[in-house]
Amino acid sequence: MGGDPPRHGDARHHRSRPALARLPAAAGIVSRLSGLGAALAATTGAQSLATLAVFTLPVLATLAARDLGAEPHWLGWQVACTYAAASTVSMFSGGLLRRLGPARCTQLALAAGAAACLLIVGAGLAGAVLGSFLTGIGYGLTNPSASQVLARLTPPARRNRVFAVKQTGVPIGGALAGAILPGLAGAIGWRGAVLAVGGVMAVAAIGCGAFRRHWDGEREPGAPLGAGALGGIVALRTRPGLGPLAVISACFSGFQLALGSYIVTMLVEEGGWAPVAAGFVASASQAVGIGARIAWGVVADWWRSGMKALAAIGVCTCLGGALLPMALAGPGVGIVMLLCLLGTCAAGWNGLLLAEAARLAAPGKAGDAAGGVLSVAFAGVVVGPSLFGAAVAVTQSYSAAFGMLALFPGIGALIAWRSALKGR
């Protein structure tokens, strides 16, 4: 009857309604986590943190080196260790992706960065060296993992823009390192600053576990870790267009790292600038790279050709590098404008590179393709600054050395244009 009190079972059912009412909200959260927006935010964040870890020791080198028992100039070897490890793990990332999936690999990458921070703080110079290798391992895993996810979720018409947005994580991470770490080290010491970075990376590694259900559905838990370990090499050898793309990446990456590393030194030593002013110009040239990556992605989608956009970037970088000696001898506004222009080009190609690697990859093998191409790009990072240093020794001029090194992005532009004409 309508006036009868509810039975015990009815009361249970009545009490369960709030929980059931929450189910649509939970379903909405699950749906958002499985979508492109969440994947792009998570992979960009992971890229930012991995880059922050890479820049931690370089930014704090003047404070940390003496305590670690080394001279500040050892930084060059530390960078080489980091990128050598990144190059190696990128090439062999296919086996890990197959067995663990991109979400677990992203967690592993961030956890490696957190462990590296602990080693740097607690194990002296040996810990710093080992920590540099671990940082490189984490950095090398982030891009193949992200490429595997984004290639699956991104419509072809938006591929370049999406990958360009994801690659803004690199300048964001570098900017965070420069803006936060020196002040943090002044407040709590350089060891405290390193531990803070490690803590954030550990929390992020745990948080990425929320994506395992959505990203790792295609993994093969029983696959041997060695299976597909050489997927990057196989992709470079068998997929048309990937080999030239890898050469382009090496030509561009060497100039990019040299530019980011030596702008301040060039302006101070050769141009007579005050260190603070030179640092501001260097920061500005890096900051414009954030928007430039997105802008180049839009241009590539508009042209419907990532290779043509890469060719344009290479031409602009080559011309800008060749003009540096003349600009340095002229008014200050001229060199500032030229360096900012170089920042939009020399740092604007990374997203296009990964988008092209995903396009040229075999179905379901975007991670292998990205790993193969990036292993060559990281090799360029190791070699480029070394060639730049040799050019400075010969010419006794940083600007002239940049002019000589600009030959490499010019070569990359020719390769990209040739590939575009072939329809690759």
pLDDT of residue 74: 59
Tell me the C-alpha distance between 381 and 403, whole Å. Answer: 18
Per-residue pLDDT of 69-119, as tens digits, reads: 766 555 656 777 888 888 888 777 777 888 888 899 999 999 999 999 999
Per-residue pLDDT of 262-317, as tens digits, reads: 777 788 888 888 877 877 787 788 778 778 888 898 898 898 888 999 999 999 99
Tell me the C-alpha distance between 314 and 310, whole Å. Answer: 6
First to last CA, the chain: 76
